Amino acid sequence: MESKVISSEYIEPSSPTPAHLRTYNLSMLDQIMVPVFIPIVLFFPPCSNNTANDLHVSKTSKQLKRSISTILTRFYPFAGRAVPDKQYIDCNDAGVHFIVARFPGQRLSDLLKKPDKDLSDQLLPRKVSWDSEMDSQCRILQIKLNYFDCGSVAIAALFWHKVADAVTMVNFLKAWGSANRGSKEGVCPNYISQLLFPHKEELLEKRPPAQLLFNEGKWATKRYVFDSIAISSLKAKSGLENPTRVEAVSTFLWNCFITASLKNGKSASAMAVAANLRGRAHPPFPSDCFGNFISITTASSINRTTGEYKELARKFRDTIKKVDGEYVSSIQGDGGLLGLEKIQSMYAEVPDGADLLSVSSWCRFGGYDIDFGWGKPLWMTTYVHGGSDMETSKYINLVGLMDTRNGHGIEALVTLGETYMPFFDAIEELHDLACVEPSPLDYVHSLE
């Protein structure tokens, strides 16, 4: 798929960042976050009756550049640069790299009928893998605006995870969309993370604790979509009272992973779950808090040939309950490395040699509420390509959960080691319950 780059420039904040905000210290939770880039691609239907002619591309691009410049005055760390030791951001207003490209002869509806695994790679500002730990120019955010002949648009962004979690990323995109529509009601981020979880000089030489548990190797990615009927079935068999969609799907995927783990000769497995601290604190932190507000909690199980779905569901719920108000309070403040030790204690419960499956949910984060004036996205994905025969990654056995467009289903992006995926994907019940690599257009009546 050939593209033509129309422009490549840096968009600076519309107002300079005040001198007293020039240095943005990473919070403790930022410091211990793995230094990867998170891709987000939003696919939008035609935003006018026009095709992607020069006038349409120019007018739309100018408006988007103007609105992102305005929003960067609020989300000013995104326009800065990471320093070499990766422990703070120089908020120097160097700007967000912004690329505009056209794909002549391409219609989005054709591309989404059966999305190629490399589609996101072609739409992103640059190729990215889970091992992309730092941009060569220390940029925090890069964006590419992609136009198709039918008038459809794909907005692709790369965020450095050390600075922002998924909630912050989605909040930024919502605010940008709101500004592009001319609304005055966009999110204004709350920068309290550095007060709640102060920067720790002691962490300068430490590896992120989560990084110690990840598996490394060759990998493959597949996308599984569970509709509301499938999720209701999984809820019914969980044995939990009022199970959530995330509990039901996560437990099922863990159960499938156990099968693949057994086939790879492992006797135990564990699930590491990323928990959003904002709503778990007492009182809750504001939803617009900027930065990383994530803690990891774990649950483990002996690998068995017969499914213990209800037991796994209970373990999943119990481990999430560990991240409560008392826990959040215990990792706050200036207590040196006590907060880190509390976080690391969660990992200590994983048995030696256990296979680890890491799960992160973006459900209910409002990704499909992002609106630049063209309506909600047809599809939102964080797809990273499935790897080649020569590629390895330090981060495998990952599951990312996202809402489907109607808000009732769940799309699971599953990245497993190359010797795990064949056994995982061969599970009959998985194929009975989930659609494998479906077209996003299956859930949209029309692109019109």
Q: Amino acid identity of 334?
A: D
User: CA 213 to CA 175: how far, in whole Å?
Assistant: 35
- State phi, psi for 9 to the nearest 5 degrees: -150, 175
Task: Please report which residue ranges of 77-222 form alpha helices under DSSP H.
Answer: 108-111, 119-123, 166-180, 193-196
Q: Check if the beta carbon of residue 278 is closer than 8 Å to that of residue 284.
A: yes
Choosing from 161, 199, 227, 288, the catalytic residue is 161
CA-closest candidate to residue 7, choices 104, 116, 122, 98: 98
User: CA 93 to CA 26: how far, in whole Å?
Assistant: 17
21 C-beta neighbours (distance < 10 Å), count: 13
User: CA 263 to CA 419: how far, in whole Å?
Assistant: 9
CA-closest candidate to residue 399, choices 346, 357, 356, 362: 357
User: CA 174 to CA 151: how far, in whole Å?
Assistant: 21
User: CA 155 to CA 173: how far, in whole Å?
Assistant: 10
User: CA 87 to CA 31: how far, in whole Å?
Assistant: 7
Q: Amino acid identity of 152?
A: S
Kindly state the helix (H) or strand (E) to which residue 396 belongs, with its residue range.
strand 393-396
- Active-site residue, 161 included: yes
User: CA 152 to CA 25: how far, in whole Å?
Assistant: 39
Running DSSP on this structure, what letter comes out for residue 400?
Answer: E
Choosing from 324, 371, 408, 425, the catalytic residue is 371
Half-sphere exposure of 370 (CA within 13 A, CB side): 28
Find the distance separating the first CA and the last CA of the chain, reported in whole Å. 23
Q: What angle do CA 67, 382, 124 make, to 5 degrees?
A: 60
- Active-site residue, 54 included: no
* Strand 398-403 relative to strand 219-226, pairing: unpaired
- Tokens matching residue 376: 């909600």
CA-closest candidate to residue 28, choices 148, 186, 162: 162
Active site residue ranges:
161, 371
